[in-house]
Structures are given as C-alpha cells and as structure tokens.
Amino acid sequence: MMRSPRYIALPIAGLCLMAACELVGLGGADDEALLVGPTWQLVAFKAQDGTTTNVRASSSQQKNALFRFGQAPYTISFRDTTLNQCGLDGNGQTENTQCALAVAVGLPNEAPFSYEFKDGNALSLRGRGTTRIGLPPNSKESQYFAALDAATSYRIDGSRMRLAYGDDKALLFEAKAPASH
C-alpha cells in the first residue's frame, strides 16, 4: 500500500519548521550555547516602570573606546574559558567551584566577570575588578557594571538578549560580530 505524498510531506515540513525555529532562537535552542560567541552590544537600560534609556555613546567617545580596546563601548562577550575560583562563599572564603569568563567593556574601562548558569535561564555574574581610567562626561559605565553584577537571569530571542537585574529592571542587548579574544 503506497501512502499519499501528503503523509510524507507533513512530517518533513514539521522537521523543517523545528529546524528553522532552532536557527532563529524561537524555541528548542540551547540558550547557553547562544550566549557564548557573539559580542553583545548594550542598546538600552529598561527601568522597573517599563521606560527605556537608550545607550548611545557620542562618535568621539566611541572612536576613543574603539582605539583603546578594539571594541565599541557597553559590550559584553561571554567566553567558554573556565575559571576555578568563582567568588566568595557565605563566610568570605574563596569558593573552588567552576565558572566561566565574560569580559565587559564600558566607557572607557574594561572589566572581567565570572558567570555561572543556574536552573533554567538563571545566570550569576560577578565582577572581578576593572581598569581605572577616568570616566568621561555622560558615561553610564558605573550603572552598566553594577547592573551586570546584579544580573539574575537572561533570555535570548534571535539576535537580542535581555539580562534581568534588580526589581524588574533589564539590560537590552543586540548580538554583534563574534568576540575577537
């Protein structure tokens, strides 16, 4: 007994749809794998009341930051580099747990962060210091690094990422070129 073409086409169409959703980040994709690789460019801060503050460095500030660090300001790159000491336990002692490295570029400083995935889409970021170049006028670097340090979860939707922190606040990012380091 030969089946009609539609019985064969439906399962094939379903598989193609699942593969397409995986590619654009609509479902089933491994968000942890999507986090590592691109450089994430900060687009805006989203406040608790839902208002957003766009982050745009002036062209001279961007050129200065690009000259110094090779990257645009307000970015973060998650790496798969493993770190053995990720922070302090409740008693102020160094933990010997494993985490990974992320590098954030502010305006004009750069800061390494360790990160760990928790259950679901929960994420822990911990600042590990920063360079100490003086901040230019209108820099949002202090806010940016503090928000990263307080991050609690993330969500990736295609080329956009949302890092939640604090009471219903978020950093909104767009994926840019792969990290060069």
| Structure confidence by residue, pLDDT tens digits, 35-65 | 998 999 999 999 999 999 988 655 665 555 5
Per-residue pLDDT band for 177 (boundaries 50, 70, 90) equals low
* Helix (H) and strand (E) counts in the chain: 4, 11
Does the predicted model carry a pTM greater than 0.75? no
Q: Which two tokens stand for residue 127?
A: 């600042």
Q: How far apart (Å, rounded) are the C-alpha atoms in residues 86 and 33?
A: 20
**Quick one: pLDDT at residue 146?**
95
Q: How far apart (Å, rounded) are the C-alpha atoms in residues 86 and 107?
A: 25
154: buried, middle or exposed (CB in 10 Å: 19+, 13-18, 0-12)? buried
Q: Give the residue from 93, 94, 85 showing the smallest Cα distance to 112.
A: 85
Residue 136: asked if its preceding bond is cis (omega within 30°), the reply is no
